[in-house]
Structure 1
Amino acid sequence: MERGDIAIARYTFLELAKEIENWDNVVFIDETWLNANHTVTKMWTDRWEGKGERLIICHAGNSKGFIPNCLLALKSKKTNEYHEEMNSEKFEGWFMTLIENLKEPSIIIMDNAKYHSRQVNKPPTSQDNKATIVEWLNNNNVPADMTMLKEKLLILLREHKPPTPTYYLDEMAKAHGHRVLRLPPYHCQYNAIKLIWAQVKGFAAKNNTSPPLTANKMLTLLQTACHHVTGENWAKVVEKTKNTIVEDWERYVRIDRWKNQLIINVGESDTASDSDSDFSDSELKKILFKFCFILPNNHCVKHTFNKMHL
């Protein structure tokens, strides 16, 4: 079953995304890879497999197309997961290039990869030594010194650390009139560029038909592939992504309305008509099952389960 923190992150994202008025100014960013051996006979996976050179790619786009001058392609030096070769310094440098090429105030949608998430004034943890905790407390105007027990320092830390992290990229965007909206974990369906990557990789594979199968050749194919992605292609995937986000938010609204009806109707006659329900039996079964998992002591939900023989 889904973790509670992921469910909360999704709700938070959808609540903010539903307020977006102009989706033409929503920018989607992401990183991926392109294997030099990538052809139509190769199977695509989320991880690079096999031998040979590859490119690590980063780009951004909106409903009008790719953002100009923002294609980043690095030749990989390792043969393991590409996220290990990107770091905050590289990504933040590229992010500034993106900001410089945005002509309108924009909402930038991206995930929470480690190199996207360097924190401003990051508080220490219980694993840090006393000196580190004392330094952070003093820097944040909290009196503390090395004579204090670590338990006391941790209490002060919990009392004074910010409730949510502040990220360098978010602050960088804000300083230039933009806003970052972070995706919930494992929700790539809310990032339109994922669909564009499929088009780019398909073009590269289709045209990577003869030796040499090198990173330099693949870079040329990549640049050509990006050029072949039109504003119309982008507009379609942005619209599809927007619709997915709106539909998922509306599902929250329907569930909330149903929960309210359930609470109001507890104890009423079992013969009451259900003709006004917004849900089919199969939808209701799934919703109730989730509620029983999340709220194991919710007896009114379990009673409804029993009534429906689910």
Structure 2
Amino acid sequence: MNRSVIRSSAREIIYKVYKRCLAESEAGQYLSDLNDVYKRTAEMTGKSVSTIRRIALEGQRNKGVFSTPGKHRAGRPRKDLDDFDLCAIRQKIQFFYTVKKIAPTLRNLLPVVREDLQFSGSREHLRKVLIKLGFKYRKCQSDRQALMEKPNIAAKREAYLEKIIENRNLPDDMRKDIIYLDESYVHTSYKLKKCWQSIDIHGIKENVSKGKRYIIIHAGSENGFVPNALLIFSGKNKNEDYHSEMNKNNFTKWVTEKLIPNVPKPSIIVMDNAPYHSVVRNKAPTSASKVSEIKLWLSENNIPFSDTTRKPNLLMLVKQHKPEPIYEIDDLLNKHGHTVVRLPPYHCDLNPIELVWGIAKQKIASRNVGSVDIKAVAEQAFQSISTNDWRNSCQHVMKIEREYYERGRTLYDDIERIIINLQDESSSTESSEDSQQTDDEDSPQNSDEDCSGVEYLDESIFDSD
């Protein structure tokens, strides 16, 4: 039975009534014991005797000071966002600019992602998601505010699409196969969430713990998985992200022993920006480097400097002459005739192997009944994935590529036109809505920004993904 909360002010009044009744009893105005004082206070306040006892004890313990703690709310339940959800939110923002011709804000974006993507988070949660995706709510040319994508992310997407689409448009005899690679994982407890069961047949039992984790790395194209390229090994760290189980040595060994021998034809190898995919061979010094290391790097690159030059100026010279990164894995694959192309950040929807992972994991979950060897089950699941599954996944990604490419032609023109059109409204309306939008879109994030045009954060901090 739920009891209504008696606020601190009400408890303070009840305690004062109790003290008055107690004082009258001690002064001999009526013969009674302490229980009679509780009863008399309860009659005068309309509360139960047990409540009066509890309030009297609290008042004596805290010397008449009462406080009511805040309510303990469970909070809004949130759906865990995977990479596909994040990509879908990005596409919704582009949809606002290119199709609806409306500048997206949290106010008009939130109901759309709730309805179309079953997003269950709050507006503040959505704001943090957009920041994670590389968007910033900035002032535009009309002093209005709108969601603007970081230019380095958009530029990397455009560069990726140009390379991929250029290859797709080549004649058959010149076109290279596009090989997609990625890593994933599966726990021994990876099972179906629902199954048919009855009173007599209980079905699949859910594990209490996740159990051992297996890391999976594979590659494939529209022709199917690369033969003999599957690698499954058990992870040792259950708490950290599965990427911590991979490193440069493991990945390089897999490329050398599993990928290269089974892809004899020169191909385009597509991978994401994981750290072990992007180990730089010609890494330039940083502020953490010693002065002697910086001078050695400058000397090796024939960059003149004075022996009396101090560290800040030496770092400026490094920044001015910093070369394009040369990745170790790119060198290895280039020697065998392959071309490495990296996915733009936060664009897993351009990698069809992500869809294949979903098919494989569904097969693993459906076969993980009772006590089984999850590694053997995973191997069987990958063997059962057909070329048609891969072809359908690649066709889906090609459709997304075309949408990105077509929208990219007019996206920033549409943004600029929307911004310019906003200038036609009256200045009073604009000032009022500016203030309102600033409050809605989290003004502390923008309070220290002063931009007369479209400006962005320093791109350098987003260079490494």
Match of 1:240 among 390, 393, 396: 396
The whole-number CA distance in structure 1 between the counterparts of 2:393 and 2:350 is 10
Match of 1:7 among 154, 158, 181: 154
- Cα deviation 1:176-217 (Å, max 9, x = unaligned): 1111110111111000000000111111110010125xxxx1
The equivalent residue for 1:38 is 190
Scaled by the length of structure 1, the TM-score of the pair is 0.76
The whole-number CA distance in structure 1 between the counterparts of 2:415 and 2:375 is 53
The equivalent residue for 1:199 is 359
The equivalent residue for 2:312 is 151
Instruction: Decide which moves more: 135-144 or 202-211.
Output: 135-144
Q: Secondary structure at the match of 2:166?
A: coil
Match of 1:226 among 354, 360, 382: 382
Counterpart contact for 1:88–1:115, Cα < 8 Å: yes
Q: Does 1:81 align with 2:237?
A: no
The whole-number CA distance in structure 1 between the counterparts of 2:399 and 2:270 is 15
Q: Secondary structure at the match of 2:167?
A: coil
Q: Does 1:71 align with 2:233?
A: no
The whole-number CA distance in structure 2 between the counterparts of 1:84 and 1:146 is 41
CA positional deviation for 1:19? 1.1
The whole-number CA distance in structure 2 between the counterparts of 1:167 and 1:109 is 14
- Cα deviation 1:43-92 (Å, max 9, x = unaligned): xxxxxx94411100100000111101111111111112111110011101
Q: Does 1:125 align with 2:286?
A: yes
Q: Does 1:19 align with 2:162?
A: no
Instruction: Decide which moves more: 27-36 or 90-99.
Output: 90-99
Does 1 or 2 have the higher relative contact order (CA < 8 Å, sep 6+)? 1
**Aligned 1:208-227 pairs, distance under 5 A:** 208-212=368-372, 217-227=373-383
The equivalent residue for 1:58 is 217
Aligned partner of 2:164: which letter? A
| Structure 1 portions without partners, runs of 5+ | 43-48, 270-292, 300-310
The equivalent residue for 1:272 is none
- Cα deviation 1:146-174 (Å, max 9, x = unaligned): 64311221122122211x32111122222
Counterpart contact for 2:220–2:353, Cα < 8 Å: yes
| Structure 2 portions without partners, runs of 5+ | 1-129, 136-148, 195-207, 425-445, 455-465
Instruction: Decide which moves more: 147-156 or 112-121.
Output: 147-156
The equivalent residue for 2:276 is 115
Q: Secondary structure at the match of 1:20?
A: helix
Counterpart contact for 2:157–2:343, Cα < 8 Å: yes
CA positional deviation for 1:256? 5.7
Q: Secondary structure at the match of 1:92?
A: helix
What is the aligned-residue identity percentage?
35
Counterpart contact for 1:126–1:154, Cα < 8 Å: yes
The whole-number CA distance in structure 1 between the counterparts of 2:370 and 2:209 is 18
**Aligned 1:158-197 pairs, distance under 5 A:** 158-162=319-323, 164-197=324-357
Counterpart contact for 2:176–2:266, Cα < 8 Å: no
The whole-number CA distance in structure 2 between the counterparts of 1:223 and 1:259 is 48
The whole-number CA distance in structure 1 between the counterparts of 2:342 and 2:389 is 23
Q: Does 1:99 align with 2:260?
A: yes
CA positional deviation for 1:253? 1.4
CA positional deviation for 1:144? 4.8
The equivalent residue for 2:411 is 255
What is the root-mean-square deviation in Å for CA atoms of aligned residues? 2.8
CA positional deviation for 1:298? 5.5
Task: Pick the structure with greater CA Rg.
Answer: 2
